[in-house]
């Protein structure tokens, strides 16, 4: 799925988010509850927006369901939905920051972080820090740092999915 096409749909809908933020939100929601329905995500994503054509909703639902599939895969296929590598580095950094904001928003829909394991809370603190990255990135060193952060996030998301998705009893953490 092409980032720019999906981002255009989201921008046209006046959702006040980018495709990276929307994907981060979907990922966070699915990490906390893998049974989250795409309709809930769409409602959160589009609640301030104008009417969205059905074909655009279909594209967004496909993004959500593909995210669900990749998160559940044993093949470590999950990746952050960000601009292509040939996009300007500042755009990539802004998208990464947005992805992190969206992820934190999605995770927060699942309940009180104080009930989550310490390791999960520490990872969430790291993700919160990534929202503060300096977008004025340039050069090979910053490009390499972005790649390392992205790889960290890929691994962290899969760990969080395992940590946040259920407690020791196998019950969803966010359900009381």
Angstrom distance (rounded) from CA 159 to CA 165: 10
CA neighbor of 50 nearest in space, from 14, 5, 10 = 14
* Residue 172 located in a structural domain: no
| pLDDT at residue 176 in the model | 31
Angstrom distance (rounded) from CA 74 to CA 72: 7
**DSSP H or E run through 60:** helix 54-72
Q: What is the mean pLDDT of each run of 10 residues along the chain (176 residues)?
A: 87 84 95 91 80 86 95 90 92 95 90 75 94 87 93 94 62 37
What the block records as the tokens of 83 is 């601009």
CB 15 within 8 A of CB 141: no
* Residue 83 located in a structural domain: yes
Domain region containing 138: 3-165
| pLDDT at residue 139 in the model | 84
Q: If you ran DSSP here, which 8-state letter would residue 173 be given?
A: T
* Residue 174 located in a structural domain: no
* Residue 171 located in a structural domain: no
Handedness of CA 174, 40, 69, 76 (dihedral sign): negative
What the block records as the tokens of 172 is 């969803």
Angstrom distance (rounded) from CA 156 to CA 13: 30
Whichever domain contains 13, its CATH number is 1.20.120.740
* Residue 28 located in a structural domain: yes
Q: How many structural domains are present in the chain?
A: 1
Q: Which residue has the tokens 């593909």?
A: 66
pTM metric for this prediction: 0.88
* Residue 125 located in a structural domain: yes
């Amino acid at each position: 799925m092409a980032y720019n096409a999906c981002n255009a749909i989201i921008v046209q809908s006046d959702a006040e988010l980018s495709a990276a933020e929307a994907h981060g939100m979907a990922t966070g929601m699915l990490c906390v509850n893998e049974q989250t329905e795409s309709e809930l995500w769409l409602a959160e994503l589009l609640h301030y927006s104008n009417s969205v054509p059905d074909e655009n909703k279909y594209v967004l639902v496909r993004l959500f369901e593909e995210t669900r599939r990749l998160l559940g895969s044993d093949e470590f296929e999950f990746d952050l939905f960000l601009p292509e590598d040939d996009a300007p580095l500042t755009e990539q950094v802004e998208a990464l920051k947005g992805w992190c904001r969206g992820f934190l928003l999605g995770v927060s829909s699942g309940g009180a972080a104080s009930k989550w394991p310490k390791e999960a809370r520490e990872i969430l603190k790291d993700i919160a820090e990534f929202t503060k990255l300096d977008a004025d990135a340039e050069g090979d060193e910053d490009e390499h740092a972005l790649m390392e952060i992205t790889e960290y996030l890929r691994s962290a998301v899969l760990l969080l999915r395992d940590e946040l998705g259920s407690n020791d009893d196998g019950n969803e953490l966010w359900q009381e």
